A and B are shown apart, each in its own frame.
Chain A
Amino acid sequence: MATQEGSLHSGFAFRPVELTFGQKIWSINWALLLIILVIAAIGFLTLYSTAGGTSDTWVLRQLIRFGIGIVAMFVVASIDLRLWYRFAYAGYLGALGLLGVVEVLGTVEMGAQRWVDVGVFNLQPSEIMKLALVLALARYFHGRTEEEVGLIRWLFTPLLMIAVPVALVLRQPDLGTAILIVLGSLAILFLAGVRIWKFAFAGVAAAGALPLIWGYLHDYQKIRVLTFFDPERDPLGAGYHIIQSKIALGSGGLIGKGFMQGTQSHLNFLPEKHTDFIFTVFAEEFGLFGGLTLLLLYALVIATGFIIALRARNQFGRLLGLGVTVTFFIYAFINIAMVMGLIPVVGVPLPLISYGGTAMVTILAGFGLLMNVHIHREVRIPRRPGSVET
């Protein structure tokens, strides 16, 4: 095995392991950056149309946030992967602390406690937690052998690491973020090699616990679930969002109504059109072709994420890369499935397109981690600190 591995990587044998800052910047994945820029550009155009043909309402502020996000991406990408590894747990604890602060100080917005006002802008600790948890779980499973991963006792710690922030997020209450965190974490557990029968067992257990969970749901969440199954039960109330969104999408047809010509969005039949339902605005104006193009662009981002992760030479990077990628996928899938009436309405934005600062910065910072894995794909990290094993 050893010889085989040696020959496999012989091509990179002379590559310097330590890169300068400039080299790091130059060695980012340009293809990924290009796709991100294209998707973001689509977002700006859609926001411009949604605002009725003006940049003043949303586009300019969104551009500034995007700029901040891109800077964050480069900063995150250039910090040595081993530093991220070293401070993964500390970051996790910090994020957990922030989430706790939200419980105490959080300002109430849209009926939910999600924000901490840090002066310049509102900080959403649950967004930070998404990345911090991926880092922490990646570090944890980086240090586990295949046998250890197979044992149940090694699963208690990561499950606790997931459960505590999820519980805090649910208390706010923010079902969308909680679902994102749970699904993203489960993906990391899956990739790390946790036995598949355990997932099946957990699935059955979760199904059994559904009635219990139902009791803990807030009324508005219950209504959302009920209206998902039957939007017509209250066409002017809770079902209105889903119905109007489907009308907008369907009436877009094959090629759409044209840029700035979406009647459903421009005449305000569509709710939350610049945030959660922005995909609908886009697909109403550009039709099936537009919708599929955007879906394809997302698929390209995800595929690039897979390639980067698979090419990484360390388990931490692999888990981190795919953890970020899967989180991105879940964002896109839940949002698009929601506006098309496939799943209940949950407050999940469309990544890189929906108007909103924290989500944009979080996602771009996440891509920074992915770029980081790409840049540091040859870096080897010992399984245990001080261990000679690479």
Chain B
Amino acid sequence: MRKEGDREKIFTRRALMLGGGQLALFGVLASRMYYLQVIESDQYKMLADENRINLRLLPPLRGRIIDRFGAELANNERNYRVVLIPEQTEDVERTLARLSELIPIPIHERRRILRNSKRMRSFVPISVTENLTWEQFSRINVASPDLPGIQPDVGEKRFYPYGEAFAHVVGYVAPVSEEELTNDPVLQLPGFRIGKSGIEKTRDLELRGSAGNSRVEVNAYGRVIRELARRDGQIGRDVRLTIDAKLQHFAIEQFGDESGACVVMDIHGGEVLALVSNPAFEPNAFNIGLSRNEWQSLVNNPRKPLTNKAIGGQYPPGSTFKMVVAQAALEAGAIGFDHTVFCPGHMTLGDRRFHCWKRGGHGKMSLNSAIMQSCDVFFFDIAKRVGVDPIAAMARRFGFGEVLGLEIGGEKAGLIPTKDWKLAVTGVAWQKGETLNTGIGQGFVSATPLQMCVMAARLGGGGKAVVPRLIKDAEAVAAKGTTTGVGADSGFASLGMSEPALRAIRDAMHAVSNTPRGTAYRSRIKDQEFALAGKTGTSQVRRITKADRLSGKYKNKDKPREERDHAIFVAYAPSHAPRYAISVVVEHGGSGSKAAAPIARDVLLYAQRRNPLAARPNDDIAVLTTKSAGG
């Protein structure tokens, strides 16, 4: 019995030890529970919410781009599409077969859908087809009870109703690239598009709006259980341009197959009414995505449809530069108003001979007749008298040699040479002959069509520092009242140019297109109310060599297209109270008077009759055609 008692005692002692140990272990569990559920609880609550709550972005509707009268240059089109949710149908194949009775589904598409329906989780929608017509879409909607798993859906896609016409102004959108990613989360949405050029790019933030979001509860497999909260986003703001779609359209028509550029501006407000670069590209194709071949043919096209020639094309301004030279010479006092030069058809400087475009010469030329008939020798003479640097300074006052800050990218500065510039760039001192070339807008001088138009606007506006703009600022319009009304004064500062000199040059420009001997007389506007004052220009693409002259084969019609001269015309109208300024460049078009002036004439007449600067423009000028306008 003693042994049994000892055994029991040992058992009891050991049992108490074991019980104590177990109690301690349960204490460990309890403190661990306290640690997890009280001390670390907040962190785990956050993690649990991160697990279950997904933030889904709701992409904002992109703002429209409209012209000055509200015509939509870029809008959003409904994208009718159909998705398939595999878990809602028992037989994906049969559903697809039924659907293909309503809309065509290519066999390879059907295979892709079947493959995806097996690979992906059964509640994930699979895109079946997009860009359906309304008719197809409604047919599917009607039949939807017989199409289990098929869900009609309406998305949004960017659309450019005018296609090519505004491609260079409005630009285009395309999927976001790696470098464009910012901390705006909406950019990471699949299929989201961002502005890649033009206004779409420069005003992208405004147009984009801000994304809304939807907080949804999801389970561990990502299936949405319910929506917890929703915050609607801010749709993108509309951007209103100064462009008049009808005027732009008219201008494009005048170009036909020619490549070139045309800029029309309001002289008082600086508003760009038309900005044409021909040929252009189809921006809607960029939205969908180009094939390699389509892209290659755009890039390799010698007419450069991807370049916005109106602001990015740089051409020697040719004779249109003569107003700058004249103003410089008059203001510097290098010549008087009564200055005359005898033109024998050429001018000799050292051992070089500088030819006038008219082989036989113009005879005795005054400032007025030299501009009217575009005599080169007169301008060789006065350029030599005033020197290149004062010409360059005057050119800058007219807006040449620097970017003007239009609200789209791709603007080029052109080039206005000075003595210092040449020495710095080439290391060779300025030659006197180069001054003569500069005097007729050739040689180193280059300018964009926009700059040429600004020059015309500054001349026509009486020496005011007109600055072009493309965006019609709603607030600015409200503050200034009827800025756009005819006769409203511009807020532009004066450039401080000599008034009598400007008047003399403007008289000469009037003569260019209103006197029978003027170079653009054939492109005059007969109705004196709308009469234009302008200047022709021909910019040499290839220097005429001595050999060319001897052979006589330097006429444009004898040369291959790419060696022909660019035709240029700048003008403003009406001549008596200038309101519209224009520049036209026809690449390899030959002479300015033949190729560019008629286009400028038609566009200016159209613009004045339509009067896009009025609150209610005249829409009823469809009868006006090129032929009835000319006369």
Contacts and interface: CB of A to CB of B under 8 A. Distances in A.
Of B3, B11, B32, most buried by chain A (CB within 10 Å of CB) is: B11
Interface stretch (A95-103, A165-173, A283-291): A283-291
A292 B30 contact: yes
28 contacts: A2-B2, A5-B1, A187-B18, A191-B18, A193-B11, A247-B48, A247-B51, A250-B41, A250-B44, A254-B37, A254-B38, A263-B217, A267-B217, A268-B220, A269-B219, A283-B33, A287-B37, A295-B33, A306-B19, A315-B4, A315-B7, A315-B8, A315-B11, A318-B11, A333-B25, A336-B29, A337-B29, A383-B4
A238 interface: no
A227 interface: no
Interface in A248-267: 248-254, 263-264, 266-267
B40 interface: yes
Interface residues of A, number: 53
A322 interface: yes
Given A1-B5, A146-B7, A302-B22, 4 more contacts: A250-B36, A251-B48, A310-B12, A342-B29
B45 A253 contact: yes
A23 interface: no
Nearest to A144: B7
B615 interface: no
B624 interface: no
A38 interface: no
Contact of B41 (A251, A291, A315, A318): A251
B44 A310 contact: no
Contact of B3 (A146, A251, A263, A269): A146
B357 interface: no
Nearest to B32: A340
A2 B3 CA distance: 11
Given A145-B3, A269-B52, A322-B15, A288 B225 contact: no
Contacts of A309: 15
Interface string A180-200: 000000010011110000000
Nearest to B2: A1
B34 interface: yes
A250 to B, nearest CB: 2
B18 A190 contact: yes
B39 to A, nearest CB: 9
B14 interface: yes
Contacts of A295: 26, 29-30, 33
B36 A340 contact: yes
Contact of A247 (B5, B47, B218): B47
B47 A251 contact: yes
A283 B11 CA distance: 36
B18 A264 contact: no
Interface of B: 1-8, 10-12, 14-15, 18-19, 22-23, 25-26, 28-30, 32-34, 36-38, 40-41, 43-45, 47-49, 51-52, 217-221, 225
Contacts, number: 141
Contact of A322 (B18, B26, B43, B52): B18
A250 B49 CA distance: 12
B575 to A, nearest CB: 78
A192 B38 CA distance: 41
A193 B219 contact: no
A362 B36 CA distance: 32
Given A2-B1, A267-B217, A246 B36 contact: yes
A249 B45 contact: no
Contacts of A361: none
Contact of A250 (B5, B8, B28, B37): B37
A326 interface: yes
B48 A329 contact: no
Nearest to A318: B11
A249 B12 contact: no
A216 to B, nearest CB: 27
Contacts of B34: 288
A202 interface: no
A263 B11 CA distance: 47
B432 to A, nearest CB: 79
A260 to B, nearest CB: 14
A253 B38 contact: yes
Contacts of A390: 4
A124 B351 CA distance: 116
Contacts of A2: 1-2
A304 B52 CA distance: 42
Contacts of A263: 48, 51-52, 217
- 4 closest Cβ contacts across the A-B interface? A250-B44, A251-B48, A267-B219, A268-B220
Given A1-B2, A250-B43, A292-B33, A268 B18 contact: no
A359 to B, nearest CB: 20
A299 interface: yes
Interface string A1-17: 11001000000000000
Nearest to B33: A291
A333 B28 CA distance: 10
Given A1-B2, A246-B44, A267-B219, A193 B33 contact: no
B22 A249 contact: no
A146 B8 CA distance: 10
A267 B218 contact: yes
A146 B6 CA distance: 8
A254 B41 contact: yes
Given A315-B7, A333-B29, A291 B37 contact: yes
Contact of B32 (A1, A287, A342): A342
B1 A1 contact: yes
Contact of A193 (B7, B41, B47): B7
